[in-house]
Amino acid sequence: MVRLAEVTADNWYQVAKLKFADSQKGFVALNSFSLAQAHYMPHCMPLAVYDDDTLVGFCMYGLDPEDGQYWIMRLMVDEKFQSRGYGRKAMELVLGIIRKDACGHAVYLSSEPENAWGKALYESLGFIPDGRVIDGEIVYKLEY
Ligand SMILES: CC(C)(COP(=O)(O)OP(=O)(O)OC[C@H]1O[C@@H](n2cnc3c(N)ncnc32)[C@H](O)[C@@H]1OP(=O)(O)O)[C@@H](O)C(=O)NCCC(=O)NCCS
């Protein structure tokens, strides 16, 4: 069963070592960078993605204190485990967490324009471009 779990002293090293393919460099930050970011920016919630006891990926979301909106800041699946549905399932699980906050009505993320794989995933989940481009990335919005 696919599940999201806290990043702790027991799994942070394995999370940091997860790898995307060389061709995917530039689409997402290194997990070690994201874990450092989460340490210093407490609104960032880093989560490990497991299939039963196998670590397959990483995601991070948070309520941005600057705009008061939820953002899914990171999503990656280790290259060994890609194209098996884990990215989609991880997105559904993180969206489930965000939707439980009755105060929120939308969630945002951004993606490199060349990331056709990510774009296909996000659009199939109902995300649509909101018209903004931030640091060269297309901003997507999902209302709920
Ligand atoms: C993008 C990413 C998270 C998708 O995770 P995944 O587990 O490989 O994807 P899934 O198996 O859940 O497939 C989700 C969708 O991606 C697309 N996809 C899957 N495998 C693909 C492939 N080999 N080539 C192109 N698109 C593909 C399909 O649209 C798929 O939808 P479907 O289920 O209707 O077929 C993963 O490829 C990844 O870690 N990429 C590098 C980091 C990255 O780009 N992160 C996103 C930053 S915005």
Average the pLDDT over 63-68 and give the result. Answer: 95
86 Cα: distance to centroid of ligand 1 (angstroms):
8
Say if ligand 1 is within 6 A of residue 51 CB. Answer: no
Determine the residue of 2, 58, 82 to mutate for testing ligand 1's pocket, defined as the one with the most ligand atoms within 8 A of the Cβ atom.
82
Give residue 104's pLDDT band: very low, low, confident or very high (50, 70, 90): confident
Strand partners, 58: 48, 76
For residue range 54-64, list pLDDT tens digits in order. 999 999 999 99
- Residue whose CA is at the smallest distance from ligand 1 atom 30: 121
Nearest CA to ligand 1 atom 18: 117
Q: Which domains does the chain show, CATH number per domain?
A: 2-143 (3.40.630.30)
* pLDDT at residue number 37: 98
Task: Answer yes or no: is pLDDT of 102 > 80.
Answer: no
Cα separation, 126 vs 77, whole angstroms: 20
pLDDT of residue 101: 87
**Test site for ligand 1: of 15, 75, 83, 123, most ligand atoms within 8 A of the Cβ:** 83
This prediction has a pTM of: 0.97
User: 42 alpha carbon to ligand 1 midpoint, in Å?
Assistant: 28
**Residue 8 confidence (pLDDT):** 98
Which pLDDT band, with edges at 50, 70 and 90, does 66 fall under? very high
